[in-house]
Amino acid sequence: MTLTADDDLLDYELLDETETERQAREDTEVRLDEISQANVDLIVDKTMVVVDELSGHPLYEYQKPFARRFVESLVIGDGATLTALFSRQSGKSETVANVIAAVMILFPVLSRIFPELMGKFREGVWVGAFAPVDDQADNLYARIVSRLTSDRAMELMTDPDIDDSVRAKGRTLTLRSGSLVRKQTCHPRAIIEGRTYHVILIDECQGADERVVNKSIGPMGASTNATMVFTGTPSYEKGVFYRTIQLNKRQATKRGSRQNHFEADWKAAAKANPHYGRFVKKELLRIGEDSDEFKLSYRLMWLLAQGMFTTAEVISSLGDKSMEIVKDWYRSPILVGIDPARKQDSTIATAVWVDWANPDEFGFYNHRILNWLDLSGMNWEEQYFRLVEWMSHYYVYKVGVDSGGVGDAVAQRLQVLMPGVEVVPLGSQRPDQSKRWKHLSQLLDRHRIAWPAHAKTRRLRTYRRFAQQMEDLQLVYTGPYMLAEAPNEADAHDDYPDSLAMACILASDDNQMPEIEVGNNPFFRR
């Protein structure tokens, strides 16, 4: 991978935690030495072989990463909450059932071979299978029972090294080794406290009651540091499934984090299973690609009641997959927006190229993000000079700085350090912010803005944070003002969108355009 101008910043973590949260994160992180990692990889590989053997057919490619991470979480005991957002009938419950059947049979045996890693499974793997209503819980439970009572499972359990068998069925299936799976609901009126599990499964989680999941179900894994697995499809409302997905996505932008969220829309499933693809295409023609039913069931689009500033689909469509980060640009003047760090945020700078020579009939210019600068973990004296050094690689025309908080001091200091550049303090009052957000919204709606989305760029944390924060951004209407802000959730920020809005607003009222030399579009790779 080619290094970019901001790769050296990837060693900094976001300083967005309280001291208690930071300590809790450090205490729960799982770091393995080479020998332990080799053992974990071996166990995961062997378990995946059994998963395929029990089902009678290999998992599809889009199912394997989810299944492997599921097994890994149980082995290393990291107590992860995994989320799987798969299109309807694409095999999410089947994947879970196959993995559960395999670990219920294998892990009690492996606990004797790897006592330090897997000692907690010496009396079996205890699984709770939940869903919003009993019929939905029965669907997942029945799949697990089917796997464990199949001829393939019976043959495997008669192996002398395993020597296991099914002892009881009903609402609870138990193996002689002590492994069990119990069917329960997470309905608000259900009384379900009192059980203990190593694995907590919640199927059709988009319909689960958030209070029940957090208050009644979650504590069932406290004494075992249980792995929780949420599976489902999008819905019209936010809930515990949506919030956990967003949390997993945000945590994935941090260095060293394991992937805890997995998605597969109908196109991914169709690529692996042509029969599935033909059926969904018939549904596309029957009910329409833009119908709510198709969006929810197959395109994995959340149709939320609360307005969002933009959508993942728009973010993806405006990303230029032929364009990499532009580390130097002197051919035409650009704009830079800077959102200075507050207590729990990062200082973010966004460099934006503007096609000054070609406004549309309404005066909107084409914009392209050239680069982002993420300054986390730096004191302000270091940040000033890092900002100046970074901007020295561009022909900067104007710099917009949020004047709220420390913004005034930042603008004044930058004006001293960059006397040839106009530094514009931008107000942080509601009318000022509303003007910026409305302008950015219009640019998005008119497709007058784009950003680098080359494969190399999409690997960068700066890109991932930008895309995630844009997707998280919520609309808030206060009187006549339209504002946008991050949701009030862990690890949610709006620094990247703020920085972008400040850069773009500098072009909206610019009546005296700089003279430029017009050339070919330099952002497409030939």
Beta carbons within 10 angstroms of residue 194's beta carbon:
7
Q: Out of 245, 265, 285, pick the residue that ends a domain.
A: 265
Is there a single domain that holds both residue 353 and residue 485?
Answer: yes
Q: Could you tell me which of 95, 34, 38 has the C-alpha nearest to residue 64?
A: 95
Is there a single domain that holds both residue 171 and residue 319?
Answer: no
Task: Kindly report the backbone phi and psi dihedral angles of residue 213, in degrees, each rounded to the nearest multiple of 5, phi listed first.
Answer: -60, -45
Reduce the secondary structure of 205-226 to three states and give it as a string.
Answer: HHHCCHHHHHHHHHHHHCCCCC
Written as tens digits, the pLDDT of the chain (526 aa) is 232 333 333 333 333 445 665 666 666 666 665 557 788 889 999 999 999 999 888 999 999 999 999 999 999 999 999 999 999 999 999 999 999 999 999 999 999 998 888 899 999 999 999 999 888 889 999 999 999 999 999 999 999 999 999 987 778 999 999 999 999 888 777 777 678 999 999 999 998 988 889 888 999 999 999 999 999 999 987 889 998 999 999 888 877 788 999 999 999 999 999 999 999 999 999 999 999 899 999 999 888 755 788 888 899 999 999 999 999 999 999 999 999 876 556 799 999 999 999 998 888 999 999 999 999 877 878 888 999 999 999 999 999 998 877 778 888 999 999 998 999 999 889 999 999 999 999 999 999 999 999 999 998 989 999 999 998 898 888 888 999 998 877 778 899 999 999 999 999 864 445 555 555 666 655 4
Q: Is 517 helix (H, G, I), strand (E, B) or coil?
A: coil
| Domain-located, residue 291 | no
**What digits encode the pLDDT tens for the residues 258-275?**
899 999 999 999 999 999
Is there a single domain that holds both residue 458 and residue 402?
Answer: yes
* pLDDT at res. 345: 60
* pLDDT at res. 343: 57
| Domain-located, residue 87 | yes
Q: Looking at the 3D structure of the chain, how many domains does it have?
A: 2
The alpha helices in 252-372, defined as continuous H runs, are 266-272, 274-287, 292-297, 312-318
* pLDDT at res. 524: 57
Q: How many CA atoms lie within 13 A of 321 on its CB side?
A: 3
| Domain-located, residue 467 | yes
Is there a single domain that holds both residue 260 and residue 316?
Answer: no
* pLDDT at res. 396: 96
Q: Is 311 helix (H, G, I), strand (E, B) or coil?
A: coil
Is there a single domain that holds both residue 333 and residue 258?
Answer: no
* pLDDT at res. 1: 26
Reduce the secondary structure of 391-429 to three states and give it as a string.
Answer: HCCEEEEEEEEECCCCHHHHHHHHHHHCCCCEEEEECCC
Q: Could you tell me which of 43, 24, 143, 154 has the C-alpha nearest to residue 93?
A: 143
| Domain-located, residue 513 | no
Helix or strand holding residue 10 (H, E):
none
Q: Specify the CATH number for the domain of residue 448.
A: 3.30.420.240
* pLDDT at res. 34: 58
Spatial contact of 249 and 258, defined as CB atoms under 8 Å apart: no
Which residues form the domain of 337? 312-508
Give the whole-angstrom CA distance, residue 279 versus residue 378: 54
Is there a single domain that holds both residue 501 and residue 410?
Answer: yes
Is there a single domain that holds both residue 261 and residue 316?
Answer: no
What are the helix and strand counts (H, E) for the chain?
Answer: 19, 17
| Domain-located, residue 376 | yes
Whole-prediction pTM value? 0.70
Please name the amino acid found at residue 478.
T
Residue with tokens 């982002």: 372
Is there a single domain that holds both residue 77 and residue 189?
Answer: yes
Give the pair of three-digit tokens for residue 225.
């540091």
Q: Is 230 helix (H, G, I), strand (E, B) or coil?
A: strand
Beta carbons within 10 angstroms of residue 259's beta carbon:
15
Q: How far is CA 16 from CA 80, 250, 381, 495, 497, in A?
A: 20, 12, 20, 12, 17
Give the whole-angstrom CA distance, residue 44 versus residue 64: 11
Q: Is 500 helix (H, G, I), strand (E, B) or coil?
A: helix
Q: Specify the CATH number for the domain of residue 136.
A: 3.40.50.300
Is there a single domain that holds both residue 254 and residue 328?
Answer: no
Give the pair of three-digit tokens for residue 99.
């993995």
